[in-house]
Amino acid sequence: MIDFQDPDFVLDPYPKLKELRQLGKPVWHEGLEMWLAARHTDANAVLRTKTLGRIFTPKSPEIQWSEFNWLHADSILDSEPPKHTRLRSLVGKAFSRSRIEALRPEIERIASLLLDDAQLKVDETGYFDLIADYAEPLPVKVIAALLGFPDKDEQLLRPWSQAIVKMYEVNPSIAAQDEAKQAAHEFAEYVRGLMTDRKSNPGTDLISELAVVEEAGEKLNAQELIATCVLLLNAGHEASVNGFGNGMVAALERQDQLKLLQDDPRGITDSAVEEFLRFDAPLHLFERTATADTEIGGITVLKGQKIASLIGSANRDETVFDKADEMDLTREQNPHIGFGAGIHFCLGAPLARIEMSASLPLLFERMPNLELKSEPIRRPTFVLRGYEKIEIISRR
């Protein structure tokens, strides 16, 4: 059975995941004490079946995990109807598709400024870091602007987010747990301060709008508002950073795919972004809990048992995707589930898609002749899959 902490597996999980799919049905993992759904049809069903809920189990002791617990229990991600329905409806009013699409010019402006700085680094050293200099700061700056975080505080956000999301990995270390507790406390108090200020001095930012929704009697309490803002940052940039980085490394390692981006980056942007998300998924495991005995793919998940949708595996299912283990940036049929499915389909998916579709062509228009300077450094995590560093040479 898979060892999710095996460094070799984390580096390249796809051969083992293929073996799971070939078993033809979900399998029980003793170490995780949950079922694993590796095939596309099963993983998709896990995300869409109403008797498989996103049930958050509070961590104990409560006095140490207080903020971490309610940041999750009061968020859209870890709640089920009717609470989920109410929260998503309220947040959706402020975080609308029209508002997100209106951000495109600002996203392109931020991306251009980041590329200016990256070019300066190239001129000085011959290379830049795709993650630290471009993929990571872009969505953080966008979310920070959307929520109205002061520019001077941007550097706080990514460390808080990374500390919290490490708790989604398999068996996080004691040190990681301590960091998550501290980050949850600091992040919650930071947003609480902004929320209090915006109630007295509202602006046009999302926190101000959510605070007004609450004051209008529409049921967003203070903890729900704070949890929503924290979730929007955490979930709102992880997919964009990791999806962009994973896809770029894969493309840079394949000359035929790289040439497609060099020759016509805008012409293939939409299909390229979807293939980035499919080929090396930024999120690999999303668990659910059975609220009643539930049949999935020929097995029965008993009430109270957990089952995980293995998203990265589903996106490589050879029965769904032609040449599933090959990257094809022009792929037309691409029903990947990189952003999930069902009622928990990622609220930030439209924003992540706009960020990636804006930043990808700009990168190749400004720096068409890119190549890897060294072996990229992977994050040592499976659930959230990405890179820590991608050093890239830009040749004239």
Query: pLDDT tens per residue, the chain (396 residues)?
Result: 899 989 999 999 999 999 999 999 999 999 999 999 999 999 999 999 999 999 888 898 988 999 999 998 888 888 888 888 888 888 887 777 888 888 999 999 999 999 999 999 999 999 999 999 999 999 999 988 888 888 888 888 889 988 998 888 888 899 999 999 999 999 999 999 999 998 888 888 888 888 876 545 566 788 888 998 888 888 778 889 999 999 999 999 999 999 999 999 999 999 999 999 999 999 999 999 999 999 999 999 999 999 999 999 999 999 999 999 999 999 999 999 999 999 888 888 889 999 999 999 999 999 999 999 999 999 999 999 999 999 999 987
Is 2 within a domain? no
Is 12 within a domain? yes
Is 208 within a domain? yes
* CATH code of the domain containing 246: 1.10.630.10
Range of the domain at 47: 7-394
The angle that helices 222-252 and 137-147 make with each other, rounded to 10 degrees, is 160
Is 166 within a domain? yes
Structural domains in the chain (count):
1
Report angle CA 359, 157, 281 to the nearest 5 degrees. Answer: 50
Which residue matches tokens 């990229």? 376
Positions annotated as catalytic residues are: 235, 238, 240, 346, 355
Q: What is the pTM of this model?
A: 0.92
CA dihedral 311, 312, 315, 318 (to 10 degrees): -120
Is 1 within a domain? no
pLDDT of residue 91: 83
Is 158 within a domain? yes
Is 229 within a domain? yes
Chain centroid, CA 11 distance in Å: 18
Is 312 within a domain? yes
pLDDT of residue 42: 98
